[in-house]
Structure formats: C-alpha cells, structure tokens
Amino acid sequence: MDPVELAKRRVGTALHGKWTLDRLIDSGGMACVFAATHRNGNRVAIKLLHPGVARNDDARNRFLNEGYAANRVGHPGAVKVLDDDVTADGAVFLVMELLTGETLADRIERAPIPAELALFIGDQVLDVLAAAHEKNIIHRDIKPANVFLTEEGTVKLLDFGFARVREGGETLTQTRDGIVIGTASFMAPEQAMARREQVGARTDLWAVGATLFTSLSGQTVHQGKTMVDRLLAAADKPARPLASVVPTIASEVADVVDRALQFKIEDRWPDARSMQNAVRNAYEDLTGMELPDPGRTSVLPVVPSVARPPSPPAAPAANLDDEIDIELSVAFELQPRGDTDKPATLEISEDDIDDASLISASMIQEVPTPED
Ligand SMILES: Nc1ncnc2c1ncn2[C@@H]1O[C@H](COP(=O)(O)OP(=O)(O)O)[C@@H](O)[C@H]1O
Ligand SMILES: [Mg+2]
C-alpha cells in the first residue's frame, strides 16, 4: 500500500497500546511524523519509518542512529528523541518531543523573511551545529524544512537522519564514496560530488548559507528546473552572490551568507562558531541590538525597526515550492563516467531519481576514514 495511505490509516490507532496517533503531521520519502499522546497523557511526536523501507537493515540502523545522533549533540536546539521501538507490523519508530509551530520552509513559502529574523535563526542553528561539530557529528541535511520555529519562539534543528557520527575514530553512520546524500538545493559542492572525505563541518556551513539565502530571497542558490539540474549546478558552479538576487540586502548580511557559500571549502567560514559570531555582528550592525544568548531559551525577536529600508520581498522562484513540497532528501548513487574530478561528466538517469529513497534505504555502507 502507498505509505501515505498507510500512514493516514494509522491515525486513531495506538502503537503498543500506549501511543495513540492523533494526527499525521508530515509524510516524506522515508518516514512519516505523527502527533501522538501516550496513555499517561504525555504528548509526543512519533516518526515512523515506512514499513517497506524498515525491512532494510541498513535503513533501520540509520533511522535508529538519528535518535542517537540528535541526543548526542546535547543541545536544547536539537530535537530530543525520547525512545525508539518497533510496531506490531514491523515498522520502526522514534518518539520525540512534540514541537508546535512551523518549519522555516513553511514560513518562507509564504514570503521571504526579514534579515533580522534570518540572522536570529542562523545564530540559533549555528549554536546547535557548533555543539554537534564539537562531538564529531555532521548533520548533512541542513535546510529550511529541517529547521523548526516553535510557537514559544525557539529554533529546533530536526532530522539527524543523514548525520554522520564519529566516535573514537570510528564512523558510526555508513555512507560509501560516490553516494550523494542530502538535498540538492542545499548541498555544498563536495557533498554534491559525493566526496565523502571532504564532507565536514564546513559542508554544514554551506547549507546554513543556502538556508539563509533562500530565507532572504525566496530562491534557491542554484536555479534549475529539476533536482538533477540543481544537483549538477551545486557540484559545478559557484553560488550566486546574495545581492544579485536581493539588491537591497545589507552588505553585512550578504557578506556572511556569501562567505558560507564559497565553492572552495577553505574560503568559507572556518567553523560554526566563527560564522555564528559574524551573524551576531551583522545583527548588531543592522539593529544596534545584541541577539539574545542562544544558550538559553530565547524568543524570536520582535523585529526591531531598522534604520535602512527592509528588502522588498523577492518573488519566490518556482522551484522553491517544488523543493519544499517534494522535500526530497536525495540519496542515490552517481554513476561517474571517466574522470570523477570533472563533475560535469556525471550522468544521472531519471531512474536513479525514482529510486532515490529506495537506494537510500539500501546503500549505506562506509569504510571509516582516519580523520574528518
Ligand atoms: N518533533 C516534532 N514535532 C513536530 N513536528 C515534527 C517533529 N519532527 C518532525 N516534524 C515535522 O515532520 C517533518 C518531517 O520530519 P523530519 O524529521 O524532517 O523527517 P524527514 O526525514 O521525513 O524529512 C518536519 O519537517 C516537521 O514538519
Ligand atoms: Mg526532514
């Protein structure tokens, strides 16, 4: 049965007789997320791997790793995973804290957001990433759909499903070279080229840059009709400067974003903390105020009046909707033809795309590398 149909039918049923599924929040390629209530009254979110995917051991392990990785970050801005278990029909699920609010993707689908808010969100996301990177966890799928803005005004980072965790020199999550994982429009060049050994903290920073770029402009960094077009552009082309899309953007803001989006890894911000400091400085330059301390529960700032006129909202690009609706976390194998240093020669067939979630479920193996 179609996984979405199956997910809908689960609403109203109880997992293990104790978690009643109240409402389907979202259904993606690999899993669906429900709001649920424990028999003790506790409200939670339950993320359930589609049964077809759950039959694959690698996919299951990877899914369970998501909870481990998120909790290991040890930061209140990483969504908390409370438990994992298996349904009577063999589907694995994670029990998470239930968040209320909306994703950044939902927010920017309505309209691009003001620079002050983008910087506030960037600061919070980078604070979580700094903690994650310190623990050798690379998220690898930072994008607006994985950034959640809670009703209380805090920012939570979701979906550590693609996270790579290194512990004691050993890689706990497994991805072979030549396999692309992540989301095309938010993917750094080295990730789009599936250069596993180059994917690291600054790959996540590129994705934060792309998330800010899209938040401020309503457009993705690379334009392209299809996901494959955008993936190939990510592997091959430098990012457009933010000001080329939002000419009225404050230069302090554009500088932070453009540096994160540099094609060469060494030209980007060196680490999450330094990018975070730059974000905080840009906020101060813009507003004359300091951002609240991201370590504490803070509240989305009531956007202060700014001296300079705010940027007029750019029209959202057609492919942004697409990206968000599909919320496609690409995971398929590239077939390099000839010289792998020339990404333009990579060929991907439409079949690969149809198989995206299938391959992601079966692909996952990796040889540990000595260092990041
Ligand atoms: N803990 C949660 N509370 C409320 N909603 C959530 C929670 N976790 C995820 N969601 C919603 O479900 C969507 C998909 O969750 P995510 O973990 O990103 O899974 P996927 O792997 O399908 O992208 C999110 O974009 C968000 O809207
Ligand atoms: Mg997601």
Instruction: Please give the C-alpha separations between residue 59 and each of 30, 53, 356, in angstroms, as whole numbers.
Output: 9, 7, 13
**Which phi-psi region, left, alpha or beta, contains residue 338 (left: φ > 0; alpha: ψ -120 to 50)?**
left
List the domain boundaries for the chain. 3-98, 102-361
Phi/psi at 167 (nearest 5 deg)? -140, 125
Question: Fold match between 3-98 and 102-361?
Answer: no
Least confident of 24-33, 85-94, 194-203: 85-94
Give, as one character, the DSSP assignment of residue 172: S
Phi/psi at 31 (nearest 5 deg)? -150, 165
Most confident of 50-54, 173-177, 361-365: 50-54
Domain 102-361 = CATH 3.90.15.10:
no
Q: Residue 15 — very low, low, confident or very high, per pLDDT cuts 50/70/90? A: very high
At 271, list the tokens. Answer: 């680490």
Q: Residue 64 — very low, low, confident or very high, per pLDDT cuts 50/70/90? A: confident
What pLDDT does residue 113 have?
96
Give pLDDT tens digits for 183-215: 889 999 999 998 888 999 999 999 999 999 999
* Cα–Cα distance for residue pair 156/120, rounded to 1 Å: 12
Cα of 340 vs centre of ligand 1, distance in Å, is 35
Give pLDDT tens digits for 275-300: 999 999 999 999 999 998 885 555 55
Q: Residue 359 — very low, low, confident or very high, per pLDDT cuts 50/70/90? A: very low
Give pLDDT tens digits for 314-339: 555 444 433 433 333 444 444 333 33
141 is catalytic: yes
What pLDDT does residue 345 have?
30
Instruction: Please give the C-alpha separations between residue 192 and each of 20, 178, 210, 336, in angstroms, as whole numbers.
Output: 40, 9, 14, 12
Q: What is the distance, to the nearest Å, from the Cα of residue 135 to the centroid of all Cα atoms in its chain?
A: 18
Least confident of 79-83, 253-257, 345-349, 360-364: 360-364
CB–CB of 176/164 below 8 Å? no
Q: Which of 148, 160, 328, 329 to mutate to test the pocket of ligand 1 (most atoms within 8 A of CB)?
A: 148
Site residues for ligand 1, CB cut-off 6 Å:
25-26, 28, 30-31, 33, 45, 47, 79, 96-99, 103, 145-146, 158-159, 161, 327, 329
Looking at CATH, the fold of the domain delimited by 3-98 is given as Phosphorylase Kinase; domain 1 (3.30.200)
Q: What is the residue whose two structure tokens read 């979405």?
A: 4
Q: Residue 3 — very low, low, confident or very high, per pLDDT cuts 50/70/90? A: confident
Give pLDDT tens digits for 227-246: 888 899 999 999 999 999 99
Most confident of 21-25, 163-167, 309-313: 21-25
Give, as one character, the DSSP assignment of residue 89: T
CB–CB of 197/205 below 8 Å? no
